[in-house]
């Protein structure tokens, strides 16, 4: 059992929880994730480890209420317990000292997942810029956290309510036009955003590492549901990633596979709303 020590709503239907998990906190590194199961009837939910405190034995997760399981998770309060948490899973992000600037591009909810990687690259002695995107100012998360660790934080909103009006790709293009010596870009967020950034940087030969978030069931490489095609080869995100070369990902296949359980997810959500219990579905 893992006790919820802190719970905070960041924006509507998006939450941060701090959970007691000393064994995970002891070993986790930037770029890894965990799988949790709320109770005996719950499904396994994969979530990035967004922060941790090894001394206090805690990990932080961020999640959106998307399906039955995450809606159920959002009903838990401080002092409640989660039945199972397994981790750290996946391979840590490869962090190194670069001969130039590291840029983390975070879109929407993906900003939280990008934070520990940006921090790790800063701790390795790099110049780090965070480029954050949201539909509107009220949907922007984790800006203060990134300001505390990055050299520069730039924001784009679709409606222009904060930062510059436009997309994260617009800010990235402006940085390149100004001559910023970008040696590595780390996009994390909606697949379409990661695809656009990867296609933008490929002809420029800028190393682009993406953090993928496909459907996962077991989180250890046995079920195969998280498979993606990278460089023409089948790869399992949970055991071989979650970071991959963005220039080699088959984005269209990945985005298609993310929709393969849409009907079951909707059925599970309806079942939860009608009966108050999770019954299949994903997240």
The verdict on 17 and 38 lying in the same domain is yes
Q: In the chain, what are the helix, strand and coil shares in percent, each to the nearest 5?
A: 30, 30, 40
Mean pLDDT of the chain: 92
Question: What is the domain range of residue 47?
Answer: 2-89
Which residues are within 8 A (CB) of 48 and not within 5 positions of it... i.e. 6 or more apart? Answer: 32, 33, 61, 62, 112, 113, 116, 211
The verdict on 72 and 97 lying in the same domain is no
According to the model, what pLDDT value does residue 257 have?
82
Any idea what DSSP says for residue 50?
A: -
What mean pLDDT do residues 211-215 have?
A: 89
Strand duo 164-165 + 152-157: pairing? parallel
**Under 8 Å between Cβ of 135 and 107:** no
**pLDDT(66) > 50:** yes
**Under 8 Å between Cβ of 62 and 115:** no
Domain closes at, from 210, 227, 260 = 210
Task: Round to whole Å and give the CA distance between 102 and 280.
Answer: 40
Domain closes at, from 182, 210, 238 = 210
The verdict on 192 and 129 lying in the same domain is yes
Domain closes at, from 210, 235, 257 = 210
Question: pLDDT-derived band of residue 281, with 50, 70 and 90 as boundaries?
Answer: very low
Describe the strand order of the beta sheet including 207-211 as a list of residue ranges.
164-165, 152-157, 127-134, 101-107, 182-188, 207-211, 243-245
272 inside domain? no
Q: What is the CATH number of the domain that holds 21?
A: 2.40.30.10
The verdict on 121 and 80 lying in the same domain is no
What is the number of structural domains in the chain?
Answer: 2
The verdict on 204 and 113 lying in the same domain is yes
Task: Round to whole Å and give the CA distance between 217 and 282.
Answer: 8
Per-residue pLDDT of 100-157, as tens digits, reads 999 999 998 899 999 999 999 999 999 999 999 999 999 999 999 999 999 999 999 9
Q: How many residues does the chain have?
A: 283
107 inside domain? yes
The verdict on 108 and 197 lying in the same domain is yes
Distance linking the first and last C-alpha atoms of the chain: 20
The verdict on 47 and 141 lying in the same domain is no
The verdict on 70 and 110 lying in the same domain is no
The verdict on 98 and 205 lying in the same domain is yes
The verdict on 99 and 18 lying in the same domain is no
Task: Please state the pTM of the whole predicted model.
Answer: 0.91
Q: What is the CATH number of the domain that holds 171?
A: 3.40.50.80
Tokens encoding 101: 């600037």
Any idea what DSSP says for residue 259?
A: T
The verdict on 190 and 103 lying in the same domain is yes
242 inside domain? no
With H, G, I as helix, E, B as strand and everything else as coil, classify residue 260. Answer: coil
The verdict on 97 and 204 lying in the same domain is yes
């Amino acid at each position: 059992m893992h006790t919820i020590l802190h719970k905070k709503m960041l924006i509507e239907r998006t939450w941060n929880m701090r959970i007691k998990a000393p064994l995970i906190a002891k070993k986790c590194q930037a770029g890894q994730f965990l799988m949790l199961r709320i109770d005996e009837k719950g499904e396994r939910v994969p979530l990035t480890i967004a922060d941790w405190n090894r001394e206090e034995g805690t990990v932080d997760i961020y999640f959106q209420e998307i399906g039955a399981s995450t809606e159920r998770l959002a009903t838990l309060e401080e002092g409640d317990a989660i039945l199972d948490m397994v981790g750290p899973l996946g391979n840590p992000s490869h962090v190194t000292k670069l001969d130039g600037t590291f840029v983390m591009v975070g879109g929407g909810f993906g900003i939280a997942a990008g934070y520990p990687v940006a921090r790790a690259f800063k701790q390795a002695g790099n110049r780090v810029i965070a480029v954050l995107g949201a539909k509107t100012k009220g949907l922007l998360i984790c800006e203060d956290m990134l300001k505390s660790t990055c050299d520069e934080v730039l924001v784009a909103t679709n409606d222009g309510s904060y930062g510059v009006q436009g997309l994260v790709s617009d800010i990235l293009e402006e940085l390149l036009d100004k001559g910023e010596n970008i040696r590595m870009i780390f996009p994390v967020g909606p697949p379409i955003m990661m695809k656009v950034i990867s296609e933008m940087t490929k002809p420029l030969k800028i190393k682009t590492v993406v953090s993928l978030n496909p459907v996962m069931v077991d989180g250890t490489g046995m079920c195969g549901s998280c498979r993606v095609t990278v460089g023409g080869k089948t790869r399992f995100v949970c055991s071989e990633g979650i970071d991959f070369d963005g220039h080699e990902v088959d984005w269209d296949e990945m985005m298609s596979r993310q929709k393969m359980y849409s009907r079951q997810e909707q059925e599970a959500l309806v079942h939860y709303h009608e009966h108050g219990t999770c019954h299949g579905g994903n997240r």
